[in-house]
């Protein structure tokens, strides 16, 4: 139930329509920066990189277009592609100037910067602090870094001044008195923040958005799209909300409107196919639950704007008001894909396990989907890399193993070796970025770069984890179990026969494939032996990372340079699936791997309770790199009567140590997909009262009936 | 103590309060024209055959001692006339195109299965006995109830009400909530639609109510059969006469049982009826509400 009033609802409707298929393009920034860089290199060859950076950054932000859209209340976006000649010139400079200068390896963004610092001090206040450091700093490198930081902070503020000037000009030409007023206010705010401290709710939101926008337009990361999260909006923003409300300066309707505008702008600065948002809920460092009006408004924004972003995480605790989880369920029942539910206590435990002190372990962000990083202190490389777990098994099937244990040992050894190899590779990547990278603006907002006098790329941040992610665990476990049963227990098959069947994508082996699919127990069905195997794999991955951490492989003079594992996949389960041949779990060549850490598609035959039991038999908390559990529910699970039950199910998942759960509600698209590919939807059940049947078992006539009735029957 | 069960369904959220596991027992004394679980009528095991899953491997052919299966030109055919429900063919079918519906379970094993989801039951969830008709296998049902209570489970029973009153007296102390079917007020139509009259059913309901048993009336509404004002008033009147009825659930007809009947090689009586419209269902609910203060909702 939205807090927007009628006008707000209508405006948000119009603003969101414009953001459904946005153009997100930072090329104007990149081009202007590198063109100036090229000119400086040519005309002033002795100039240090920091000086070139400062000058090019300034030149670029003076030139790029100012974009203020109709009816926008929170402003700042990059949507203009380059025109013909400039586009050609950028293509040239990109290849010949930018590419050679940059280290195009590794990850970036996937974090939340220090909004509290920006809002409390303003960029001028931060600059004052830096000047104080400069007074006593002798080290040339640090002085150079500080000087660059001063420049980019001022450049950001000057860019906001251009927005202020443009808004003022628009105001003077505006004939609608209401909009005129709004534009004048936007002008005032853009001149005030981010340069000066924020003193109102609207100012705070504008400052935070503007910082994220400028961070996104990072010329040294022009080969990858930036994803900066808005952190905990029910924390850094709350004091401004409270003060304005208490002073009678802000209504809840206006507050929701501004939050919705902030959320819409996320869609205008991050292209589709990625992920970006914020988190709400959780606890403060002293354990106090965070559950306030902005917790609610942050979730409501998802339902108000109905766009791809924000990816909202609701951090649930056992002593949160139950209405918050119910609210999340209700929003999901409308067909939204967020909020995702996170287990605050488990995650805090996991962070402590990996060395984050108690004072910081509640202040984390999901760095796009489920990767957990400490806010305002991270230079974490998430998903570095994605590892294809079942693919690794295929390489071991070309000999007759004497026992299942021998095969499993060999597999784990290969996995261990790949983990170590990847850790080395990405550490080398870090070194390359250390030598060549520069991200001064971000460095101002990530601890402890300013205190250390070091750019984030050079190890200024406190946390420099690398968090590899392991994809297809369920396929691996299902495959291993099939091998155990067919080859070792029942002795029906040899490795040679299995390999031949897989290489032929089961052609001529339909009975074998059917048997594997129908008769061999699968992960996700509360079967002890299979679930134990899953836990064995995840525990091994954790132990392997710990071995690497103890080995010194990742040493490069950065603090907290640990390897921390994850089991989520983003969209890589599809990519890996395309690259992977048929697997012993009955999966056909080219078919996606299982997503997240849940059962494979169509294999969750005993329903969500069994699936949750399977999911929570292995330890989640150490997988701070992220654990994703995706579950599908029918709409019947979200009626007024059943919503409480579904919420209770989620609470049980959390109580049993579940890390995160993401819910998708079965809709017409899923049913259509099930008609086209029944094998991937064998577990899709139609339930009406005491009746239940598998959708894929229904006659085509009945399937068509169900398709027309998704609200009733599914 | 053994009984024939055809499904144990976890995460049941439409069979009583909270999250439940529903035990579907095979066999029913009624033969309702609209039955959406046609596999529940006969107590004996029966063969489901889904031609869509058949891969034509032919392993079922030698498995059957009654020559029920044949593969001709790669196409499988099934002759059910001699089928004894032995399940040998289902055992060997790699694609699960052949599945035996209904098998014997030891009561203790059923309870063990139900207890697997105990972490989800909380204060409100638990076990629901359903079917078919649980009272048809009353000794098995009593054993499940006894063991269930020993294990601390909240227990619901779905029943059509057609059993010996003494049997209901015996089970009543163990059942926290009856989900009691009330299908047709007019006794003649009741017999036409379900195969039995409704005096015993109504009598058992009143008797249980007098014993203090809590109930929810489950009312399947089938267009052209019982969607009549007199039946809606009859539902309301029955509810008004019961001291311990909690709610009335209106269950709109759906045709999906037809698909199961096909896979069982059975006739399906209501060939041409489809889903009723939302507005129609809303009118039914209003018709009942108009005559009773007992809460009425769609199931």
Our CA-based measurement puts residue A696 at a distance from the nearest CA of chain B, in whole angstroms, of: 9
Our CA-based measurement puts residue B230 at a distance from the nearest CA of chain A, in whole angstroms, of: 24
Burial of B75 (0-12, 13-18, 19+ CB in 10 A): exposed
Q: Which chain B residue's Cα is nearest to A699? A: B259
Asked whether the predicted pLDDT for residue A483 surpasses 90, the reply is yes
pLDDT confidence of residue A704: 86
Our CA-based measurement puts residue B17 at a distance from the nearest CA of chain A, in whole angstroms, of: 9
Asked whether the predicted pLDDT for residue A272 surpasses 90, the reply is no
Write out residues in chain B with pLDDT < 70, as ranges.
none
Asked whether the predicted pLDDT for residue A174 surpasses 70, the reply is yes
Q: How confident is the model at residue A701 (pLDDT cuts 50, 70, 90)?
A: confident
**Residue-wise burial string across B26-62, b where 16 or more C-beta atoms lie within 10 A, e elsewhere:** bbbebebebbbbbbbbbbebbbbbbeebbbebebbee
pLDDT confidence of residue A518: 93
Which of B6, B10, B14, B61 is best to mutate for the A interface (most A CBs within 10 A)? B14
Q: Who's near A275: CB < 8 A, 6+ residues apart?
A: A227, A309, A311, A368, A369, A570
Q: How confident is the model at residue A666 (pLDDT cuts 50, 70, 90)?
A: confident
B262 contacts on A by Cβ (under 8 Å): 699
Asked whether the predicted pLDDT for residue A708 surpasses 80, the reply is no
Chain A residues 502-561 with CB within 8 Å of chain B: 510-512, 514-515, 517-519, 526
pLDDT confidence of residue A687: 80
- Sign, Cα dihedral of A478, A484, A486, A487: positive
A692 contacts on B by Cβ (under 8 Å): 7, 9
Nearest residue to B105 via CA among B24, B4, B9, B25: B4
B9 contacts on A by Cβ (under 8 Å): 607, 692
Which of B8, B90, B120 is best to mutate for the A interface (most A CBs within 10 A)? B120
B13 contacts on A by Cβ (under 8 Å): 636-637, 642, 645-646
> Is the CB of A675 inside 8 Å of chain B's CB atoms?
no
Q: Are B206 and B242 spatial neighbours (Cβ–Cβ below 8 Å)? A: yes
Averaged pLDDT for residues A366-390: 97
Q: Note the ipTM here.
A: 0.94
Our CA-based measurement puts residue B190 at a distance from the nearest CA of chain A, in whole angstroms, of: 21
Averaged pLDDT for residues A627-650: 86
pLDDT confidence of residue A712: 42
Mean pLDDT for chain B? 96
C-alpha to C-alpha distance for A454 and A470, rounded to whole angstroms: 32
Chain A residues 685-714 with CB within 8 Å of chain B: 686-693, 696-699, 701-702, 705-706, 708-709, 712-713
B35 contacts on A by Cβ (under 8 Å): none
Asked whether the predicted pLDDT for residue A311 surpasses 50, the reply is yes
> Is the CB of A656 inside 8 Å of chain B's CB atoms?
yes
Residue A606 to residue B257, Cβ atoms within 8 A: no
Structure confidence by residue, pLDDT tens digits, A255-264: 999 999 999 9
Q: What percentage of chain A reaches a pLDDT higher than 70?
A: 99
pLDDT confidence of residue A710: 57
pLDDT confidence of residue A536: 98
C-alpha to C-alpha distance for B147 and B110, rounded to whole angstroms: 10
> Is the CB of A71 inside 8 Å of chain B's CB atoms?
no
Mean pLDDT for chain A? 95
pLDDT confidence of residue B220: 98
Given A609, A706, A708, which is nearest B19 (Cβ)? A609
Asked whether the predicted pLDDT for residue A711 surpasses 60, the reply is no
Helix (H) or strand (E) holding A686: strand A685-688
A647 contacts on B by Cβ (under 8 Å): none
Asked whether the predicted pLDDT for residue A570 surpasses 70, the reply is yes
Helix (H) or strand (E) holding A189: helix A177-192
Q: Is the peptide bond before A385 cis (omega within 30 degrees of 0)?
A: yes
A705 contacts on B by Cβ (under 8 Å): 255-256, 274-275
A637 contacts on B by Cβ (under 8 Å): 13
Our CA-based measurement puts residue B180 at a distance from the nearest CA of chain A, in whole angstroms, of: 13
Residue A687 to residue B14, Cβ atoms within 8 A: yes
Structure confidence by residue, pLDDT tens digits, B187-209: 999 999 999 999 999 999 999 99
Given B10, B119, B122, which is nearest A607 (Cβ)? B10
Given B55, B158, B258, which is nearest A702 (Cβ)? B258
Residue B55 to residue A691, Cβ atoms within 8 A: no
Q: How confident is the model at residue A328 (pLDDT cuts 50, 70, 90)?
A: very high
Residue A713 to residue B9, Cβ atoms within 8 A: no
- Give the 3-state secondary structure of chain B: CEEEEEEEEEEECCCCCCCEEEEEECCCCCCCCCCCCHHHCCCCCEEEECHHHCCCCCCHHHHCCCCCEEEECCEEEECHHHCCCCCHHHHHCCCCCEEEECEEEEHHHHHHHHHCCHHHHCCCCEEEEEECCHHHHHHHHHHHHHHHHHCCCEEEEEECCCCCHHHHHHHHHHCCEEEEECCCCCHHHHHHHHCCCCHHHHHHHHHHHHCCCCEEEEEEECCCCCCCHHHHHHHHHHHHCCCCEEEEEEEECCCCHHHHHHHHCCCCCCCCCCCCCHHHHHHHHHHHHCCCCCCEEEC
């Amino acid at each position: 139930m939205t807090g927007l009033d009628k006008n707000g609802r209508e405006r948000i409707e119009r603003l969101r329509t414009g953001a459904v298929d946005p153009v997100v393009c930072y090329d104007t920034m990149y081009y202007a920066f590198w063109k100036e860089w090229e000119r400086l290199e040519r005309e002033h060859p002795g100039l240090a990189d920091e000086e070139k950076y400062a000058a090019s950054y300034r030149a670029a932000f003076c030139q790029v277009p100012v974009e203020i859209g109709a009816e926008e209340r929170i402003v700042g976006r990059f949507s203009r592609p380059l025109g013909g000649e400039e586009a050609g010139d950028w293509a040239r400079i990109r290849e010949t100037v930018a590419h050679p200068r940059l280290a195009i390896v590794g990850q970036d963004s996937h974090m939340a910067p220090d909004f509290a610092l920006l809002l409390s001090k303003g960029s001028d206040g931060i600059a004052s602090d830096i000047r104080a450091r400069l007074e006593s700093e002798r080290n040339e490198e640090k002085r150079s870094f500080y000087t660059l930081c001063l420049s980019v902070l001022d450049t950001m503020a000057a860019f906001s001044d251009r927005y202020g000037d443009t808004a003022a000009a628009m105001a003077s030409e505006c004939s609608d008195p209401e909009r005129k007023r709004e534009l004048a206010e936007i002008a005032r705010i853009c001149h005030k923040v981010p340069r000066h401290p924020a003193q109102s709710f609207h100012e705070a939101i504008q400052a935070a958005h503007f910082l994220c926008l400028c961070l996104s337009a990072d010329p040294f990361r022009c080969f990858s799209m930036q994803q900066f999260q808005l952190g905990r909006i029910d924390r850094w923003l709350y004091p401004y909300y409270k003060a304005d409300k208490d002073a009678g300066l802000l209504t809840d309707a206006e507050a929701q409107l501004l939050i919705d505008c902030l959320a819409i702008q996320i869609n205008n600065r991050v292209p589709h196919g990625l992920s970006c948002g914020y988190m709400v809920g959780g606890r403060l460092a002293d354990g106090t639950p965070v559950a306030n009006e902005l917790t609610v408004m942050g979730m409501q924004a998802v339902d108000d704007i109905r766009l791809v972003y924000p990816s909202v995480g609701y951090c649930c605790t056992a002593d949160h008001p139950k209405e918050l989880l119910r609210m999340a369920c209700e929003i999901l029942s409308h067909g939204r894909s967020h909020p995702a539910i996170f287990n605050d206590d488990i995650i805090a435990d996991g962070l402590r396990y990996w060395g984050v002190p108690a004072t910081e372990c509640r202040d984390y962000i999901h760095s796009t989907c489920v990767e957990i990083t400490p806010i305002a202190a991270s230079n974490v490389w998430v998903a570095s890399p994605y590892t294809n777990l079942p693919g690794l098994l295929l390489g071991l099937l070309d000999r007759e193993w004497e026992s299942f244990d021998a095969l499993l040992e060999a597999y784990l050894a290969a996995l261990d070796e790949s983990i170590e190899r990847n850790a080395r590779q990405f550490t080398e990547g870090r070194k390359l970025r250390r030598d060549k990278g520069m991200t001064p603006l971000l460095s101002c907002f990530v601890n402890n770069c300013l205190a250390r006098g070091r750019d984030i790329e050079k190890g200024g941040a406190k946390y420099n984890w690398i968090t590899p992610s392991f994809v297809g665990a369920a396929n691996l476990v299902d495959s291993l179990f099939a091998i155990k049963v067919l080859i070792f227990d029942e002795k029906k098959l040899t490795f040679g026969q299995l390999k031949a069947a897989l290489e032929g994508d089961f052609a001529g082996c339909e009975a074998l494939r059917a048997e594997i699919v129908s008769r061999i127990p699968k992960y996700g069905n509360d079967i002890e032996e299979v679930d134990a195997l899953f836990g064995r794999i995840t525990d091994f991955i954790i132990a392997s990372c710990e071995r690497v951490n103890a080995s010194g492989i990742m040493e490069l003079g950065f603090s907290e340079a640990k390897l921390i594992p994850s089991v989520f996949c983003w969209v890589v389960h599809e990519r890996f699936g395309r690259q992977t041949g048929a697997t012993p779990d009955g999966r056909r060549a080219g078919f996606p791997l299982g997503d997240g850490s849940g059962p494979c598609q169509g294999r969750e035959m005993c329903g969500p309770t069994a699936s949750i039991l399977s999911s929570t038999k292995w330890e989640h908390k150490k997988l701070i790199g992220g654990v994703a559990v995706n579950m599908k529910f029918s709409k019947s699970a979200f009626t007024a009567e059943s919503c409480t039950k579904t919420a209770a199910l989620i609470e049980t998942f959390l109580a049993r140590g579940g890390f995160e759960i993401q819910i998708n509600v079965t809709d017409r698209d899923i049913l259509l997909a099930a008609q086209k590919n029944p094998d991937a939807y064998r577990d899709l059940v139609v339930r009406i009262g005491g009746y239940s049947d598998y959708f894929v078992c229904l006659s085509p006539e009945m399937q068509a009936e169900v398709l027309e009735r998704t609200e009733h029957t599914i | 103590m053994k009984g024939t069960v055809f499904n144990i369904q976890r995460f049941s959220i439409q069979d009583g309060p909270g999250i439940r596991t529903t035990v579907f027992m095979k066999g029913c004394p009624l033969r309702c024209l609209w039955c959406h679980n046609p596999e529940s009528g006969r107590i004996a095991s029966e063969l489901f055959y889904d031609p869509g899953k058949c891969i034509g491997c032919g392993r079922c052919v030698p498995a059957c001692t009654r020559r029920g299966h044949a593969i001709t030109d790669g196409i499988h055919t099934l002759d059910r006339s001699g089928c004894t429900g032995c399940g040998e063919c289902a055992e060997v079918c790699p694609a699960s195109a052949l599945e035996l519906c209904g098998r014997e379970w030891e009561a203790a094993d059923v309870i063990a299965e139900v207890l697997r989801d105990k972490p989800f039951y909380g204060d409100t969830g638990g076990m629901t006995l359903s079917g078919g008709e649980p009272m048809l296998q009353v000794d098995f049902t009593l054993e499940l109830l006894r063991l269930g209570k020993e294990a601390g489970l909240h227990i619901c029973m779905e029943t059509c009400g057609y059993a010996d009153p003494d049997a209901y007296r015996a089970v009543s102390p163990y059942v926290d909530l009856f989900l009691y079917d009330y299908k047709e007020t007019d006794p003649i139509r009741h017999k036409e639609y379900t195969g039995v009259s409704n005096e015993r059913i109504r009598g058992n309901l009143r008797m249980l109510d007098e014993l203090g048993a809590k109930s929810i009336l489950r009312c399947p509404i089938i267009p052209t059969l019982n969607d009549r004002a007199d039946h809606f008033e009859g539902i309301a009147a029955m509810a008004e006469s019961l001291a311990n009825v909690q709610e009335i659930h209106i269950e709109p007809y759906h045709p999906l049982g037809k698909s199961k009947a096909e896979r069982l090689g059975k006739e399906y009586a209501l060939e041409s009826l489809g889903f009723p419209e939302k507005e129609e269902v809303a009118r039914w609910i209003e018709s009942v509400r108009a005559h009773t203060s007992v809460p009425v909702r769609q199931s």
